[in-house]
Structure 1
Amino acid sequence: MTTAYSEAVCKHLRVGLAAFAVPPPVSLDVWASENFYLSAESSYVEQRWRPWPFQRAILSCMGNDAIREVDVEKSARVGYTKMLLAAIGYFAEHKRRNQGLWQPTDDDRDDFVKTELDSMLRDVPAMRRVFPEYLARHKDNTLLQKRFLGSVLHLKGGRSAKNYRRMSLDVALLDELSGFDNDVEKEGDPFTLAAKRVEGATFPKIICGSTPKLKGFCLINARVQLAEVVYRYHVDCPHCGGHHALTWGGKDEPHGFKWVDGDPETVKHLCPHCGALSTQGDYLAAEESGRWYGTDGSTVDHEGVFRDAAGVVIPPPAHVAFHVWTAYSPLVTWAQIVREFMAAYEATQQGDDSKLKAFTNTTRGEVWEGEIERTDAEELLNRAEPFSLRIVPRDCLLLLAGADTQDNRIEVAVWGFGRGGRMWTIEHRVFYGNPAEPQIWVELSAYLRETRFPHVAGPEMGIYATAIDSGGHNAQAVYEFARSHAALRVFAVRGRPAGEKHIKDGAGPVDIDWRGKRVKGGVILWHVGTNLAKDLLHGRLQVTRPGPGYVHLSNELPKSWFDQFTGEVRATRRTVTGTQTRWTAVRKRVETWDCAVYALWLEAHLELARKPAAWWDMLEAKVQPDQADLFAALRAGSDAPRAEVAGAAPPEARRAALPSPARATRQQPSLDQPLAPPAPPPARRAPRRVVQSTYLRRR
């Protein structure tokens, strides 16, 4: 009796104290191997799950508290959904973390819960310890929420902004991220909205995974580009021992898949090191010893241990990304992959590229470029001409500036314009400082007011007009600057990236008094049809011979300038409402391109294309007297290095040589004389302006 009583007491004590027990820490890889189970509803075979070798490091990183962001750009059939389910179970049962899972739509969420999540909660025994209501119709077990002991899982669709509110989470999971809207109800991208939910967590975690889609519109590809390190799984070559990733390659590439005479059964993988061919069986025999290699030379093994290129253990990056595609899956034969490609390629030859697009996205796990217009930076760099920056070339008759505001700087590009839409790069200047503070605006004001550029024909030229971007966080500062510098023809502009009808796409007052009425003479916000302006600039860049429409680029511009100038592509995608095309950034910084767009808006605003020949003749007579190029000898003997984009002044040698012709023409008519507005005092009639925009005439 005493023994039975003691055993009963001990049993109840164990049950009561279990809530205070802390299990020994294990990685997600180990937890999944010990606990996870493949359910009949969502798997080909119902059985206990053992992660594939390439999955283990991804799982370890998902569960590592030191890693804040994990992105997986993947193809189909690599087991990502199982990894995601294992992560949900791990954070609920082992770490007791509050989680939020978003699917692209509410329907996607419902389907995921019914076919994947509910069966996992039912069939994984470990989950019953924290989810006693797994079989019950209960308020803690719904399509929208699973309440565990010590934590909760919120399940949301991703297209409604309200689904990202009123949750305090430790873990945010975004499945099929590229299927989300890029801008959720005009409140921001889904990643940023979800990230707000984990900001206060002790160990915040965001996991994003998706099959990629169209380049330039693909959210998962954009996330991968922001990662500190991107990893790909490498295996050892059985012939030379060198490690390499499995790649698709191409017909003329010295690596990747190769087959003979159109027969998919002959496919093998060509080693990029020794040129030997390996079969899928060779890969499967070596996959266990594989390792993930990063873009910085580091590695991560199956246990999630990071090492640098020398093999020394290092702390894990805060943001990592993985790329994996179907060739790594033991469930898909390489011959089957080749058959899919051959069918897709044949359809493409008949004008249908939809199968090749699907093959690229879902089998290779790569973005589809589709119909893309782009300009190559190297091509423009090679065609750059030997003329000096800050010296106005012959036939360049008017200087216009486009300015772009950033959080820590203002960038100004001065472009020269001539007859027929010819353009020249004159200078790119960066003013560093916070646009919310006055000092940077004082410097910009002095630059626009005082800067003079010597023309090769003799006269000095000033900047006639400036368009400055008011987007971002500094709109009010831009409006105030435009208001106080109306005499310098400074215009506040903002891009309209969709639905525009013209480069000069309308305007509206932004100066409203306390009664809600427009302030007379107040600031006007001008809208720029950005896609149309970029189309025009891209078209001019295709002109290969100097003449009307040609864009002249100085060879003193650095490569970084050209990289920014070609940092956007125009991509075409098909939507439910039809075909949509727009210019999309493919790199983080594109300020030189944006500044040129604002200068083109000024060209349209001033209606330069409609000016008659007599107008250009009059301007040429003032700006470009009929005389020799005063700077030809200087330019021929100059071998100055290219100036940095951020450089404010030309090299010392060139600056020392410039004053002579500039000073010699100090008293000659300058560009501002025929174009500047008349002085305010006179009783006499003001001189006629050469350039008159529609807007200026209305005033």
Structure 2
Amino acid sequence: MADGWDTFDVAWRSGLRPELQMSVSSWADAHRFLPSASAEPGPWSTDRVPYMREIMDCLSTGSPFERVVFQKGAQLGGTEAGLNWIGYIIHQAPGVALLVMPSIDVVRRNTRTRIDPLIQSSPVLAERVVAPRSRDPGNTATSKRFIGGELVMTGANAASALRSTPARYLFLDEVDGYPSDVEGEGDPVSLAVKRTATFAGKRKIFMVSTPTIRDFSRIEAAYLESDQRRYQVPCPHCGAMQTIEWARIKWPSGEPLKAYLECAHCGDPIGEHHKAAMLRAGEWIATGQGDGRTAGFLLSSLYSPFETWGEIAVEFLASRRDVSRLKTWTNTALAETWDDGQTRLEPESLAARAENWGDALPDGIAVITAGVDVQDDRLEVELVGWGAGEESWSLDYIVIPGSPADAATWETLDGILGRRYTPPRNAPALSVRACCIDSGGHYTPTVLEFCAARSARRVWAIKGASGAGRPAWPRRPSRAKKGGQPLFVIGVDGIKDVFYSRLAIDTAGEGYVHFPTGREGEWLSQLTAERLHARWHKGRQIREWRKRAQDRNEALDCRVYAMAALEGLKSLGLRLNDEARLLLDAPLRGPSDPITSESPTAQQKRSVITSRWMSGH
């Protein structure tokens, strides 16, 4: 672009011309070039992502829709479609456009990696946007001035920009990542939409996001207000139109990379090699009425030409036993919200799973850990055995009556932690490899002293801390004062996420939770006492585990602490799967082989839970 404000003024006025009735997809096919750093550099082709054509064209100035909602999975080309719209605005329908992203940091990164390459790689855009200069405010990380308009980019956490920029075009990207309240001025989406009010009838609002949690997802709420379009594709065998659903993705046992789609009508398998032709022949079908002004689109990654069904199946298998990973997979692969109610388990449904493994230690246990909860008048202890894939067995649950201020109470615990267990295979006896003891109550100095004296046996004092993102086990312990006893702060919410997802597994194997008969009733009620709740705090969604005031949860706490002990061992180099494999390679113990420890049956008989705390009296 030539220098000088006079020249720019002439160019600006030349942009104030009647809008051409060109669609966004047609513009992209004619003028968009993907930069060399892209996965597929060169001229843009909507035929590569045919499902994006209707979405983009609803953003064209000739479309009757004011709002376009796209609830999407990953690897679909959605971001590139939004960039095509921005290019279309600059070249074909100039005006003020506002791009809102979750934070200003994301905006700056997006400008560097996407907006600038968009402009530089497409000549019709480069000649219309103010050239970047150190002293010219028309081309910065947050603003791009072009002939007839301007692109303003801001974070959803910046109230001033949201309330001060009237705009005809509004691009709300990843709306589920926005805070609920921005600087005390309210919902950032509402603030941004108000900036378009003066352009009612001519405005365009594009909402795009991967969904998050049900009842908290902005994109899902907006989609439900729309005409709720789904993309239907034909079966290559019978021709019947249908959506691609995860429930009909199948694969041969043990071979997820060979995943295929089962036709909803004829039942024939549809291979991945048919996907491209199916997408080209697909069409969007509205399933709702909507308000007449909002076009809504929902598309999962199962439609992606950039990711195979087999790859998505592999991702599912890798995440299905870890609730946090499964949640992410559900959001990003299926484009579905996560229902936290999915993790709710009732004690009655679990009771039928109780097992009677008799006198012997269950086969497969390679490591034993313990978790201890400290109450004012008792200690409660769970001993947990661990096998390959962190399959677990609750070996014992003991209530030790007595004040933690009494030495006898701790002597009893010490004896329990010193037990030795004979495996059913010809291998060395097992002992408690590590133990975590809660220090957060009224007896912190006593707990610290007990643990410090047994640090060589990996008896650790811990304190639970809530909050998303806290590691299950810290890199190093904290100390109350220099030279003081070590205290390990553990992330209890993440551990509970993992535990409850594992408790929902209903087939023995990796992650499965075994427990013996005799634990039904109060123990299971305590184990399942907490529910996941969501609340908003300072504009951010907080998810936390809570119990009702009248419920007890000591059994859950003990399991969390035993799991933390395993995490502590892993931080020290434990390779559980290797140890479990070595154990299972050993022959079963013969009747003449010596028994080097007391029978687990005797131990369990002495520790049957009969106290008033576990019987509900």
Structure 1 partner of 2:112: 114
Is the partner of 1:206 in helix, strand or coil? Answer: strand
TM-score by length of 1: 0.47
The one-letter amino acid of 2:254's match is G
Task: Tell me the residue number matched to 1:61.
Answer: 58
Query: Which amino acid in the other structure matches residue 218 of structure 2?
Result: L
Residue number in structure 2 paired with 1:80: 78
Q: Is the 8 A contact 1:369 1:571 kept in 2?
A: no
Q: Could you tell me whether the CA contact under 8 Å between 1:572 and 1:582 is conserved in 2?
A: no
User: Does structure 1 residue 292 correspond to structure 2 residue 284?
Assistant: yes
Shift of 1:94: 0.4
* 1:107-146 alignment, distance < 5 Å: 107-134=105-132, 138-146=136-144
Match of 1:359, as an amino acid?
W
Of the candidates 336, 340, 346, which is equivalent to residue 366 of structure 1?
A: 336
**How far apart in 1 are the matches of 2:334 and 2:541?**
28
Deviations 1:456-495 (A, max 9, x none): xxxxxxxxxxxxxxxxxxxxxxxxxxxxxxxxxxxxxxxx
Larger radius of gyration between Structure 1 and Structure 2: 1
Aligned partner letter, 1:257? I
| Distance (Å, rounded) in 1 between the aligned partners of 2:541 and 2:208 | 27
Residue 297 of structure 2 is aligned to residue 322 of structure 1: yes
Choose 574-583 or 358-367, whichever is displaced more. 574-583
Distance 2:546 2:215 in 1: 9
Q: What aligned pairs does 1:195-214 form with structure 2 within 5 A after superposition?
A: 195-201=193-199, 202-214=201-213
CA contact (8 A) 2:94 2:149 kept: yes
- For 1:341, give the aligned amino acid: F
Closer, same or farther: CA 16–213 of 1 in aligned 2, 3 Å: closer
Query: Residue 265 of structure 1 aligns to a residue in which SS?
Result: helix
CA shift, 1:573, in A, is 8.0
What are the Cα deviations for residues 551-603 of structure 1, in whole angstroms up to 9, with x where unaligned?
Answer: xxxxxxxxxxxxxxxxxx974489999743799xxxxxxxxxxxxxxxxxxxx
Give identity over the alignment, percent.
29
What secondary structure is seen at the aligned counterpart in 2 of 1:58?
helix
**SS state at 1:155 partner:** strand
**Aligned residue type for 1:80:** G
1:668-694: CA deviations, max 9, x gaps? xxxxxxxxxxxxxxxxxxxxxxxxxxx
Written as runs of structure 1 = structure 2, the 5 A alignment for 1:605-616 is: none
Q: CA deviation at 1:69?
A: 0.7
Query: Displacement of 1:113 after TM fit?
Result: 0.6
- Number of the residue aligned with 2:24: 28
Give the distance between the partners of 1:363 and 1:374, measured in 2 at CA.
23
Give the drift of 1:331: 1.2
- Tell me the equivalent position of 1:156: 154
Paired with 1:274 and 1:216, the residues of 2 have a C-alpha distance of 36
Could you say which residue in structure 2 is the equivalent of 1:432? Answer: none
For 2:11 and 2:217, locate their aligned partners in 1 and report how far apart those are by CA, in whole Å. Answer: 50
Partner secondary structure for residue 282 of structure 1 = helix
The verdict on how the C-alpha distance between 1:17 and 1:212 changes in structure 2, with shifts beyond 3 A counting, is: closer
Q: Aligned letter for 2:544?
A: Q
User: Deviation at 1:295?
Assistant: 0.6
Q: Distance in 2 between matches of 1:19 and 1:357?
A: 47
Q: In structure 1, give the amino acid aligned to 2:286.
A: G
Deviation (angstroms), 1:184: 2.4
**Aligned residues of 1:161 and 1:187 also touching (Cα < 8 A):** yes
Amino acid at match of 2:39: Y
Distance 2:339 2:536 in 1: 13
Counterpart for residue 313 of structure 2: 338
The alignment partner of 1:40 has SS state of coil
- The answer to whether the 8 A contact 2:533-2:543 is kept is no
After superposition, what is the alpha-carbon deviation per residue over 1:111-148, rounded to whole angstroms, capped at 9, x for unaligned? 11110001111111111332141577621001121111
Aligned-pair Cα RMSD in Å: 3.0
The CA distance in 2 between the partners of 1:260 and 1:86, in whole Å, is 40
CA shift at 1:90, angstroms? 0.7
Partner of 2:40: 45
The two structures have a TM-score, normalised by structure 2, of 0.53
Structure 2 residue identity aligned to 1:110: R
**Shift in CA distance, 127/156, structure 1 to aligned 2, threshold 3 Å:** same
Structure 1 residues 187 and 297, CA gap change in structure 2 (3 angstroms): closer
Aligned to 1:278: 270
| Contact 1:214 1:573 (C-alpha < 8 Å) held by counterparts | no
Shift of 1:360: 0.6
Gaps in structure 2 of 5+ consecutive residues: 1-9, 346-530, 548-617
Verify the 8 A CA contact 1:231 1:295 in the aligned structure 2. yes
Query: What amino acid sits opposite 2:148 in the alignment?
Result: G
Are residue 215 (structure 1) and residue 214 (structure 2) matched? yes
SS in 2 for 1:138: coil
Aligned counterparts of 1:179 and 1:205: Cα–Cα separation in 2: 21
| Structure 1 residues 287 and 137, CA gap change in structure 2 (3 angstroms) | farther
Q: In structure 2, what is the Cα distance between the partners aligned to 1:283 and 1:263?
A: 19
1:93 to 50, 69, 91: 91
Instruction: Please identify runs of 4+ aligned residues in structure 1 that moved more than 6 A.
Output: 14-17, 573-578
For residues 267-286 of structure 1, the C-alpha deviation after alignment (integer angstroms, 9 at most, x for no partner) is 11111122222112122222
In 2, the alpha carbon distance for the partners of 1:72 and 1:354 equals 24
**Does residue 355 of structure 1 match 2:355?**
no
**SS class of match (2:208):** strand
User: Structure 1 residue aligned with 2:250, among 245, 258, 261?
Assistant: 258
Structure 1 residue aligned with 2:232, among 231, 234, 247? 234
Shift of 1:185: 3.1
Structure 1 residues 120 and 369, CA gap change in structure 2 (3 angstroms): same
User: Could you tell me which residue of structure 2 aligns to residue 424 of structure 1?
Assistant: none
Cα drift, residue 193 of structure 1:
1.1
Pick which of 14-23 and 352-361 moved more: 14-23
**How far apart, CA to CA, are the structure 2 residues paired with 1:282 and 1:297?**
32
For 1:111 and 1:238, locate their aligned partners in 2 and report how far apart those are by CA, in whole Å.
42
Q: Any gaps of 5 or more consecutive residues in structure 1?
A: 1-13, 250-255, 299-315, 376-568, 584-699
Alpha-carbon separation, structure 1, partners of 2:541 and 2:98: 31
What is the CA–CA distance in structure 1 between the aligned matches of 2:209 and 2:287, rounded to whole Å?
Answer: 20
Aligned length: 347
Q: Offset at 1:265?
A: 2.9
d(CA) in 1 for partners of 2:166 and 2:115?
21
Say whether the 8 Å CA contact 2:68–2:207 is kept in structure 1. Answer: yes
Q: Partner residue of 1:642? A: none
Kindly indicate whether the alpha-carbon contact (under 8 Å) linking 2:234 and 2:241 is maintained by their aligned counterparts in 1: yes
Query: In structure 2, what residue type is equivalent to 1:189?
Result: D
Distance 1:582 1:106, change over 3 A: farther
Distance 1:115 1:355, change over 3 A: same
